[in-house]
Amino acid sequence: MQKQSIEQLMSSFQGVRVLIVGDVMVDNYIIGKVDRVSPEAPVPVVDVTRFDSRLGGAGNVALNLKALGAIPVLCSAIGKDKEGEDLCKLIEDASMTTRALLTSDKRKTTTKTRVLGNNHQLLRIDHEVKDDLDKLDTFLLEEHFVRELDNADVVIFEDYNKGVLHGLNIEHFLNLCQERGIPTVVDPKKSNFLSYKKATLFKPNLKEIREGLNLTGALSSLEEIRNAVQELNAVLQNQATMVTLSEKGVYIHHQEEEHHLGAHVRNIADVSGAGDTVVSVAALCLAKKCEWNRLAALSNLAGGLVCEETGVVPINADRLLAEAQRIGL
């Protein structure tokens, strides 16, 4: 079978249906200039020039997917609060659906407010509840998930340790996907790291794999990374594991196949949200049955591109295509 061109591959992303289950949040930014210190305390005074609100967490994954032509559906739990209303408006303004969002009066909508002065982050304020969903909300979230699952081509588990995903529903959701033959991509965090068993693709970064396996080494060599992935696979039995290595690129392992791809030289402005972009591209490649090395290469390229932008922003599909063409991907 002839290999698809990169134009054909990215064109095939159009209309792919992606169910994203996990923690959705609002990223607020208070942006201004600093030219003096407060007389009240030794802190900078920010002269505010603008405010900005963006979708974060699983919401940023959804924005990346939509930018690539896919149809994302967010399945999450939010609070019955003003922040939740703001989040729903951001989703609707992006022409995405809120039908799989559970609104609960026992939750706060996760909101992260960052104060930026002279292009530097000075302070972050978090408004959230990190407890696991209770039994009733877990049941209600499952109803949303099951209703959307049969329309999904791929499922992303986007875990930020905010309690939407926990040991019981992770196992159940993964089993439902496996029964239906729907591929799964996991973007894990420490608390539930070893709960994601038999996923199609598991995507930690170096910090997450160290913390998740309680490793003390730096994982600075390819051999150390390979050994850590083998230890992880022995426990989780995932089909493939892709570790993002920051400035060292990515490492992907699938059965007897492995690939290490170096990072592309970039003018790094902000690494925030790069992991969301990587997992979005990887999920679409997985849905289209792309080769593992190509999946890793395109995901790696996309993650690097968004690092050239300030703040959490989705990938620009045209730029990604142009860069992929330029390097012969």
> Which amino acid type is present at position 47?
D
Residue 235: the pLDDT is 94
Looking at residue 269, what is its pLDDT? 45
Please report where in the chains the tokens 């894990």 appear, as a residue.
188
CATH of the domain at 281: 3.40.1190.20
Is residue 211 situated within a structural domain?
Answer: yes
Give pLDDT, residue 38: 96
The pLDDT value recorded for residue 220 is 84
Low-confidence ranges of the chain (pLDDT < 70): 1-2, 263-273, 308-312
Name the nearest CA neighbour of 57 among 30, 86, 20, 101. Answer: 20
The predicted structure's pLDDT at residue 4: 85
Q: What is the pLDDT of residue 265?
A: 56
Report how far residue 233's alpha carbon sits from residue 214's, in angstroms, rounded to the nearest whole number.
Answer: 15
Contacts of 211 (CB under 8 A, 6+ apart): 190, 193
User: Is 36 within the bounds of a domain?
Assistant: no
Please give the C-alpha separations between residue 295 and each of 145, 168, 208, 256, 313, in angstroms, as whole numbers. 26, 30, 21, 16, 21
pTM of the model: 0.93
CA-CA distance, 74 to 289, in Å (whole number)?
23
Domain carrying residue 282? 6-24+56-111+130-326
In a domain, 252, yes or no: yes
- The answer to the question of residue 119 being in a domain is no
Domain-embedded: residue 65:
yes
In a domain, 122, yes or no: no
At residue 259, φ and ψ (nearest 5 deg) are -145, 135
CA angle 273, 11, 323 (to 5 degrees): 55
Name the residues annotated as catalytic.
Answer: 276
Give the pLDDT score at 329: 85
User: What is the greatest pairwise CA distance in the chain?
Assistant: 71
Angle subtended by helix axes 292-306 and 274-287, to nearest 10: 150
Total domains, the chain: 1
Give bridge partners of residue 115 from the DSSP assignment: 30, 123
229-244 b/e (C-beta count within 10 Å ≥ 16 → b): beebbeebebbbbbbb
Q: Is residue 31 part of a domain?
A: no
> Has residue 11 been placed in a domain?
yes
What pLDDT sits at residue 273?
66
